Structure 1
Amino acid sequence: MAGAAVRDADAAQWQPAIDALVFRPSGHRGVCAIHRLAFRALLGRTGGAEDCLAFFAAHRPAFERAAAAKIARRGLDASASLHLTSRDVARAIAAG
C-alpha cells in the first residue's frame, strides 16, 4: 500500500492517491485501508472524503473489530497492511 502512511496512530486520514481512508488498527503496526467505493455501500450514497471520515469516526469500534477479525482470520503479521471491504465493516456494525 505505497503512500498510505499514517502519521498519528489514533487518527484516520484520507489518502487521495489511493482514494481511501487509512488508519492503524489498535495493537497493529500495519495500515488498514477502506476504499471510497466501500464507503458508498456503507453510506448508501457516494460520499466525499469528509463523509467517509465522519462515518469512520461514528463507527470506529466497528472498523476496529472488522480489522481485528480480518487480521485473525488471515493470520496476518503484526506489521502487515490490509484492506477492509464494505462487507467486513457491515458485519462488524451488525454484530455491534
Structure 2
Amino acid sequence: MSSEPHWRDDIASLVFPVTGHGAICAVHRGAFRTLLGTSPTPEACLGYFQRFESVFRAAASAKIARRGILSGTSLHLTSRDIARKLLEEPQIANGE
C-alpha cells in the first residue's frame, strides 16, 4: 500500500492511507466534481486534496468513528463527508 495520496484510474478515485487504521480511503471523481463545481482532472483532485489534506483526514477519522469501521477496512468519502469537515475549518468558517 502506497503511503502517498495518488490517483487510481481503475476506480476513478484519489486514494490515501488512513494513518493508524491500516487501510485506504478513496474519494471518487464525482465527489470532487461536487466540491469543485467542475469535472476535474486527476491533477486537480490531487491539488485540492493537498490544499485541504487535514480536512480529508479529519473526515475519514470522523466516518470511521461514526460508522464503527474496523481497522484494516477500506472506506470512501462522499462530498458530504468532506463538506461537513470543511465547514468546521476555522479559516473557512470565517470566510477566508
In the alignment, is residue 31 of structure 1 matched against residue 53 of structure 2?
A: no
Per residue, is there more helix in 1 or in 2? 2
In the alignment, is residue 93 of structure 1 matched against residue 86 of structure 2?
A: yes
Deviations 1:3-61 (A, max 9, x none): xxx41x2x101000000000012221111000001000111111000000000000000
* Gap regions ≥5 residues in structure 2: 90-96
In the alignment, is residue 42 of structure 1 matched against residue 35 of structure 2?
A: yes
Distance 2:22 2:73 in 1: 7
Displacement of 1:78 = 1.1
Out of 9, 13, 32, the position equivalent to 1:16 is 9
* Gap regions ≥5 residues in structure 1: 1-5
Q: How does 1:73-92 map to 2 (within 5 A)?
A: 73-92=66-85
Given the two structures, how large is their TM-score scaled by the length of structure 1? 0.89
- Identical columns (%): 46
In the alignment, is residue 72 of structure 1 matched against residue 72 of structure 2?
A: no
Aligned residues: 89
TM superposition outliers: structure 1 runs of 4+ over 6 Å:
none
Given the two structures, how large is their TM-score scaled by the length of structure 2? 0.89
Task: Please identify the structure whose Cα radius of gyration is greater.
Answer: 2
RMSD: 0.8
